[in-house]
Amino acid sequence: MHAFETILAVLLGAVLLSLVARRLKAPFPPFLALGGAAVAFLPFAPDLTLDPELVLALFVAPILLDSSFDSSPRDLKRNVVPITLMTLAAVGITVVAVALTARHLEPEMGWAVAIALGAIVAPPDAAAATAVLRAMPVPYRIRTILEGESLFNDASSLMIYRLAVTAAVGGMATGWILAATIVWALVGSVVFAMIVAWITTRLTRNITDAPAAILIQFIGTFGLWIAAEKLGLSAIVTVVVYGLTIARLAARNPATIRAPAYTVWDTVVFALNAMAFALVGLQIGPIWRGLDPGQRGEYALFAVAVLIVAVLARLTWVMGYNTFLRLKNRWFGANLPDGVSAPTPTSGLIISWAGMRGVVSLAAAYALPLNFPHRDLLLLATFAVVMGTLVLQGLTLGPLIRLLGAHDDGQLEREIKHARQVVTQAAVDHLKGCEGRVADRLRDEYSERLDAVMSPEADDGRVELESDQIKADLLTTKRDALMKMRTSGEIGEAAYYQIEEELDRYELSWTPVVR
């Protein structure tokens, strides 16, 4: 019962801090991590430890699936070069820089141990990047690169991590066996994810009960992660490819399943994000208390040095690559895919500074064997990088964006407006072949809506006609009448909720989506 009460308290505190962050128009992960760290030093602080396997499956799997489900294969393809280089080169440079620093400061540390530390702190966290990007208006290309990077960089870093840990404890495969293991982890993950996505879609296409369908979605997500781990695949690549595939295969699902599923997933992912970042802060207590007093000063200096190097390594790579591209475009001309803007110093600074680490790094550190060399030192360094980047970069990213004058370039709004025009035009064209008073009335309404959508004043095509206001007033009248019948006892709760749900669906049918 005590554990359950602790979870409720953590969730409540996380929700309150996230509301404060939203009120301040700031990303919520730094607030949650700071709140957890502050509580960790209180006498009554809960002593929560993380089970690394549970953390990776519980927190990372659904967050990655949610992010990949919303990702655009078109945009990922257009930006495949920078995303790939961020996933491989940026991670690799950070691993090398951190390993060299660790070896310099702690000469007794073996190369395998130092590389393991670099791999742990190298990847920016998908949850942190998503939370920050939702709070900050940035150009569409920057958002695409950061979200795409956050989908795949965990896979490359965790692969290096596993190889380094295996080498440190002995028994690492070499030669063809090592190559086959890597190929199986990458290619096998893609194939396995696509097969499971196809099978899942075929088996669930006839399920019309929303609660059952949503439960199957969560069971499938966690089951896919566990299966990939047991098969020696990359669980992260498997879940990401599964999300990208299932989003296309399930596009024809009925709205009665899709609407509640989106709501449930948004709520669960928010709760998992809140819990994850609050738990990150709470871990400083057990880590600090586990160190001898004489070790704390030396370990703290080591941790701060690793934090600085991790931040500078990403900054150096991104700005170096950004400068190279700008010089290449100036000397030889730019050959950019459709819809892709040229890199600028502003975009490079934002991408390089948006490198917050999170729960994946902390879970990987906790996954180290208990007898792993320098385990306590690696734990403290990991926590310093996670907390330092969340607070230092997470809280200053917004002011940096405003200082640089970056703003939303309107690409998404333009595409939304175009989609509204095409969809509304399709309705008008369909009604041209229909006869009768109802068809005439609908034809007039949609023609008026099409004219409004195509007007320059409609930023993203979201318009409100006089008929929409009348519908809203009528809906309010209906709800008032329904409430009076409920209050007077004229109808029971079952009838009330039935009609209320019908009115809700009617309202959703003509209410534009605002994200």
DSSP 109: S
Instruction: Tell me the chain's radius of gyration from C-alpha atoms.
Output: 26
Closest CA to 390 of 11, 26, 33: 33
Phi-psi sector, 408: left (phi>0), alpha (psi -120 to 50), beta: beta
pLDDT in tens, the chain (515 residues): 466 777 788 788 888 888 888 787 777 778 877 787 777 777 777 666 666 667 778 888 888 888 888 788 888 888 888 888 888 889 999 999 999 999 999 999 989 999 999 999 998 876 666 666 666 677 888 888 888 888 888 888 888 888 888 888 776 556 566 677 778 878 888 999 999 999 988 888 888 888 888 899 899 999 999 999 888 888 888 998 999 898 888 767 777 788 888 888 888 888 887 777 777 677 777 777 777 787 788 889 999 999 999 999 999 999 999 899 888 888 887 777 766 777 888 888 988 888 888 878 887 887 788 788 888 889 889 989 988 998 888 888 888 888 888 777 777 777 877 887 888 788 888 878 788 888 888 888 778 878 877 877 766 667 777 777 787 888 888 889 888 888 888 887 788 878 888 888 888 777 766 65
DSSP 212: H
Length of the chain, in residues: 515
Distance CA 88, CA 212 (A): 39
How confident is the model at residue 342, as a pLDDT?
78
Q: Quote the Cα angle for 117-240-236, to 5°.
A: 30
Q: Give the burial string for 17-56 (b: 16+ CB within 10 Å, else e).
A: bbeebeeeebbbbbbbbbbbbebbeeeebbebebeeeebb
- Interhelix angle 175-204/210-230, rounded to 10 degrees, is 170
Which tokens in the block code for residue 9?
A: 């308290």
Which tokens in the block code for residue 129?
A: 């990047």
Closest CA to 289 of 389, 418, 416, 379: 379
Q: Calculate the CA 307 to chain-centre distance.
A: 23
How confident is the model at residue 308, as a pLDDT?
96
* Residue 463 CB-density burial (10 A; 0-12 exposed, 13-18 middle, 19+ buried): buried
Distance CA 190, CA 240 (A): 9
In order of 470, 472, 473, 504, the CA distances from 477 in angstroms are: 11, 9, 6, 13
Distance CA 417, CA 461 (A): 4
Show contacts of 463-467: CB within 8 Å, 24+ apart.
Answer: none
pTM of the model: 0.82
Q: What are phi and psi of 406, to 5 degrees?
A: -75, 145
Q: Count the Cβ atoms, other than its own, within 10 Å of residue 444.
A: 12
First-to-last C-alpha distance (Å) of the chain? 38
* Residue 435 CB-density burial (10 A; 0-12 exposed, 13-18 middle, 19+ buried): exposed
Q: Calculate the CA 27 to chain-centre distance.
A: 13
Distance CA 22, CA 132 (A): 11
Residue type, 363: A
Closest CA to 361 of 145, 170, 91: 91
In order of 66, 191, 193, the CA distances from 185 in angstroms are: 22, 10, 12
How confident is the model at residue 1, as a pLDDT?
44
SS3 content of the chain, % helix, strand, coil (to 5): 80, 0, 20
Distance CA 213, CA 211 (A): 5
Distance CA 145, CA 84 (A): 9
How confident is the model at residue 196, as a pLDDT?
92
Q: Residues 50, 366: contact at Cβ < 8 Å? A: yes
